[in-house]
Structure 1
Amino acid sequence: MPFALYLLGLAVFAQGTSEFMLSGLLSDIARDLEVSIPSAGHLTSAFAVGMIVGAPLMAALSRRFSRRRALLAFLMTFLLVHVVGALTTSFAVLLATRVVGALANAGFLAVALVTATSMVEPNAKGRATSALLGGVTAACVAGVPAGALLGQVWGWRSAFWAVALVSVPALAAIARAVPAGAPDATGPSALGELRALRGPRLLLTLLLGALVNAATFCTFTYLAPVITEVTGLRPAWVPVVLALFGIGSFIGVGVGGRLADARPLPLLVSGSLALLAGWILFAVTAAHPVAAVVLALVQGALSFGVGSTLVSQALYAADGAPSLAGGFATAALNTGAALGPWSGGLALSAGLGYRSPLWVSALFVALALAVGGAALVPRRRGRAAGSLFSGKRPVR
C-alpha cells in the first residue's frame, strides 16, 4: 500500500477520535458550560447529522478542486473548529463547531475513500479501504480511551486540543505525500455521477452497509451498561471491554481487506451469518463475564470485517461516480451509526432491559441477511444477483 494512504489513515484516526470521544466527556462539558447532560448530548447528535448530510454535499463541492486541495481544506477546517471548541465558553458556539467539524470530517472521508482507491490497482480497493478505515478502528482502540483519560486529568478541553494537535502532522504529510493532481475535466458530470449512483447494485450495498453499521453502533453505544448492569463487572472493566471491541475491529478490518477483493461474496455471507449468531449468543450469555469479554472482541472483528467489505464493494459498484461515491458510502455508514443508537435507546426506554441493544443489533443483521438473501435469488436467464458483490470480475 502507498505510504500516502497511511497518512490519510492518520487524519481519519484524529477525526474518528473526535466523533466518538464525547461519550466520556459529556458530564464535564455539561458542568463546565452549565447545561444539562441531555442538552450536552445534542453535541453527538449534531455531529451525526452533519456527517450524514455533509458527506454527499461536501463530495459534490470537492469536484471543483484537486483531491489534495480538497483534503487539505477539509482537514484544516476540522483542525480550526477544534481549536475554537477548546477555547469557547459558549455551548452554542461549541454546538456549531460540532456541526462544521462533522461537515469537514464527512467531506474529508468522502474524498479520502476515492483518493485511497485511486492510488492502488483497480482490483485492490478492498485493501485500500481497510487501510484507510484502520484509522477509525485505531480511534476506537486508543483515541477514544485516551480522550477520556485526558478529560479526567486535564479537563474536556484538553481532548479537543489533542485532536487538533494530531491533525497537524497529518495536514503537513498530506500536503507533501498526496499527489497534487487537478480537477478532472474529462470525467462524468455531476448529473452523470448522480445517475450512476442510482444503480441497484450500489443502492443494495449501501443499504446493507447502513444496516450492519446500525447493528455495530447500537451495541457499542450501550456496551458500558451491558458490562456493568448485566455482566456485573466493575466500572473499571468498561475501558478494557471497549478496547477489546476496538482491537477486534482493527483485526476485522485487516483480515477483511485481504479477502474482500478476491472473495467478497463468501466473506459477506459467512461473516454476516457469524455476526448474527454472535449477537444472539452475546444477548443470551451477557451475564457470564468470560463470554461477554470474548464476544466483545469477536463481534468487533466480525462487524468491521463485514462493514469494511461492504464499503469497498460500494466503491467497486460506483465506478461511474468517481467523485461522489465516497460521499454516499460515508453517508450510508453514518446513517447506520445514528440509527443504531437511536433504536437501542428506544428499546431501553421501553423497559426491555440492558440486553435489548444486543437483540436490536441481531435484528439489524437479520434484516441485512434477509435483504441480501433476496438479492441472491437467481434472476431470469440463470443470471444470479450474486454478481452484485463481484465488482467487474466473477466471484471465484
Structure 2
Amino acid sequence: MPLGLIALAIGAFGIGLTEFVIMGLLPDVARDFGVSEATAGWLISGYALSVVVGALGITAATTRLPRKAVLIGLVVLFIIGNALTAAAPDYGVAMLGRIVAALNHGAFFGIGSVVAAELVAPEKKAGAIAIMFTGLTAANVLGVPFGTFLGQQFGWRSTFWVISAIGIVALAGIAALVPAPKDAGEPVRLRSELRAFRSAQVWLSLAVTVLAYGGMFGAFTYIAYTLTDVAGFASASVPWLLVLFGAGLVIGNWLGGRFADRSIDGTLLGFIAALVVVLVAFGLLAFSQPATIVILFLMGGFGFGTVPGLQSRIMHYAGGAPTLASGANIGAFNVGNALGAWAGGVGIAAGLGYTAPIWIGAAITLAALIVMAFAVFAAKRPRREPAAAKPEPEQQAQPAALSAAAR
C-alpha cells in the first residue's frame, strides 16, 4: 500500500475531527465565551456553510493547478484555522478560525480522492479512496470521543491544539509521501459540469441530502445537552456515549453501501423512514438512559447509512458531468448540518427544552422522506433527462449500473 494513502487518511482524520468534535465540547465553549447554547451552535453552522463555499469555489478555482500543491495549500489553511480557534480570545475570532479551517474540507476530499486513485493500479482505485475515507470514519469512532475527553480534562482549547498538530503531521506526510500526480486528459470544463444542474433529479437529490442530513444533525448538534440535562448522564460519560454513535455510523455506512448496490432509491426510502422513527422514539424516550444508549447507535446507523446512496444517486443523474455535482452534494451535506444546528438552536432559544432539537430533526427528516418519495415517483415517469446530463460514451457503463441499482 502506498504510504501516500496513509498521509491522506491522516488529513481526513483531522478534518473529520475538526467538524464533529465541537459538538461534544459545545457546553464548555459556550461557558468560556459567555454565549448562549444557540450562539455557540453557530460555530457548527458557520463551519458547515464554509465547507459549501470551499467545496464549490476552491475546487473550481484550482482545477488547472497541480493537485499536490493544492492539497498542501488546503492543509495549511486547516492548520491556521484550528490554531486560530484554539488561541481565540473571543467568540468572533473562534468563528473566524472555524471558517478558515472549513474552507479546505470539501476540496480536500474531492481532490484527495483523485490523488488517492492515481497512487494505485486501476483495479484498486476504489480501495485506495476507501482507505483515505477511513480517516474520516476513524475520526468519528475514536477521535471525537477522545477529543471530547481531552477537552473536558484540559480545556476545550487543548483539543484544537492537538488537531492543529495532526494537521502538521498530515502536511509533512503529504509533502514527503504523495508524489506529484500526472494529470491525465483534458482539464474539467466548468461549462460542461454546470450543465448537469439542468436535471431536476439532481436538484431533488441535493434537497434530500440537505434534509436527511439536516434532520439527523438537528438532533445531534446539541447531543451533549440532551445526554446530561435530559437523560441524566454525567458529563464524563459523553465521550463514551459518542463511541456508540460512531460505531453506528460505521456499520450503517457499510450496510447502506451494500444495500444501495442493489437498490439506491429503495435503500434511501428505507433508511430515511427508519431515521424518522428513531428520532421520534428519541424525542419520547430521551429521559431513559437505556433507551438513549440504543437510540444513539441506531441514529448513527440510519443517519450515515444514507450517505453512499445519496452520493451514488446524484452521480447517476449528473450523467457525464459528475464532478461538480458530486462536490455540490458534499456541500449539501454541510448545508444540512448548518440547517439542523440552526433549527435546533431556535428551538432551544424559544424555551422548548433540550428535546426540541430532536423533534425538529424528526420533522426535517420527514420532509426528506417526502421529497425522496416524490423524486422516486418523478424518476419513474417516462420523461427524458436533459441532454446535457447524458453520459459521454466512455462513461456509459457506470451510470447504466447505477440506473439498475436505482430501480
Aligned pairs for 1:183-262 within 5 A: 183=183, 186-262=186-262
Rounded Cα–Cα distance in structure 2 between residues aligned with 1:244 and 1:6? 25
Aligned pairs for 1:162-201 within 5 A: 162-175=162-175, 178=178, 180-183=180-183, 186-201=186-201
Rounded Cα–Cα distance in structure 2 between residues aligned with 1:278 and 1:256? 16
- Number of the residue aligned with 2:402: 391
Give the match's secondary structure for 2:273. helix
Q: Deviations over 1:234-277 (max 9, x none)?
A: 43433332221122112212232334334323322222222222
- The structural deviation recorded for 1:25 is 4.5
- Number of the residue aligned with 2:79: 79
TM-score (structure 1 length as normaliser): 0.83
CA contact (8 A) 2:196 2:322 kept: no
Distance 1:309 1:10, change over 3 A: farther
Could you tell me which amino acid in structure 1 is paired with residue 67 of structure 2? R
Rounded Cα–Cα distance in structure 2 between residues aligned with 1:302 and 1:273? 9
- The structural deviation recorded for 1:297 is 0.4
Identity percentage of aligned residues? 36
Could you tell me which amino acid in structure 2 is paired with residue 271 of structure 1? F
TM-score (structure 2 length as normaliser): 0.81
Rounded Cα–Cα distance in structure 2 between residues aligned with 1:118 and 1:47? 30
Give the match's secondary structure for 2:306. helix
Could you tell me which amino acid in structure 1 is paired with residue 59 of structure 2? A
1:57 and 2:68 are equivalent in the alignment: no
Structure 1's unaligned 5+ residue stretches are none
Rounded Cα–Cα distance in structure 1 between residues aligned with 2:270 and 2:26? 38
Could you tell me which amino acid in structure 2 is paired with residue 391 of structure 1? L
CA contact (8 A) 2:192 2:321 kept: yes
- Number of the residue aligned with 1:312: 312
Give the match's secondary structure for 1:270. helix
CA contact (8 A) 1:74 1:108 kept: yes
Give the match's secondary structure for 1:229. helix
- Number of the residue aligned with 1:368: 368
CA contact (8 A) 2:17 2:163 kept: yes
Rounded Cα–Cα distance in structure 1 between residues aligned with 2:176 and 2:192? 32
1:341 and 2:324 are equivalent in the alignment: no
Rounded Cα–Cα distance in structure 2 between residues aligned with 1:29 and 1:112? 31
Give the length in aligned residue pairs: 393
Distance 1:121 1:390, change over 3 A: farther
Structure 2's unaligned 5+ residue stretches are 386-398
Give the match's secondary structure for 1:391. helix
CA contact (8 A) 1:280 1:358 kept: yes
Q: Deviations over 1:199-219 (max 9, x none)?
A: 223222221111111011111
Q: Deviations over 1:51-79 (max 9, x none)?
A: 12222101101202233332222112212
Could you tell me which amino acid in structure 2 is paired with residue 149 of structure 1? F
Aligned pairs for 1:343-362 within 5 A: 343-362=343-362
Rounded Cα–Cα distance in structure 1 between residues aligned with 2:351 and 2:90? 35
CA contact (8 A) 2:82 2:163 kept: yes
- Number of the residue aligned with 2:381: 379
Give the match's secondary structure for 1:225. helix
CA contact (8 A) 1:134 1:253 kept: no
CA contact (8 A) 1:123 1:261 kept: no
Rounded Cα–Cα distance in structure 1 between residues aligned with 2:350 and 2:76? 43
CA contact (8 A) 2:41 2:345 kept: no
Rounded Cα–Cα distance in structure 2 between residues aligned with 1:217 and 1:160? 21
Distance 1:364 1:115, change over 3 A: farther
CA contact (8 A) 2:27 2:225 kept: no
Could you tell me which amino acid in structure 2 is paired with residue 238 of structure 1? V
- Number of the residue aligned with 1:102: 102
Rounded Cα–Cα distance in structure 2 between residues aligned with 1:143 and 1:52? 23
Q: Deviations over 1:307-336 (max 9, x none)?
A: 233123333444534542443122101000
CA contact (8 A) 1:67 1:180 kept: yes
CA contact (8 A) 1:30 1:40 kept: yes
CA contact (8 A) 1:197 1:203 kept: yes
Distance 1:38 1:233, change over 3 A: closer
Could you tell me which amino acid in structure 1 is paired with residue 382 of structure 2? R
Distance 1:261 1:309, change over 3 A: same
Rounded Cα–Cα distance in structure 2 between residues aligned with 1:188 and 1:351? 49
* Pairwise CA RMSD: 3.6
Rounded Cα–Cα distance in structure 1 between residues aligned with 2:359 and 2:38? 25
- Number of the residue aligned with 2:281: 281
CA contact (8 A) 1:51 1:105 kept: yes
Could you tell me which amino acid in structure 1 is paired with residue 229 of structure 2? E
Distance 1:72 1:262, change over 3 A: farther
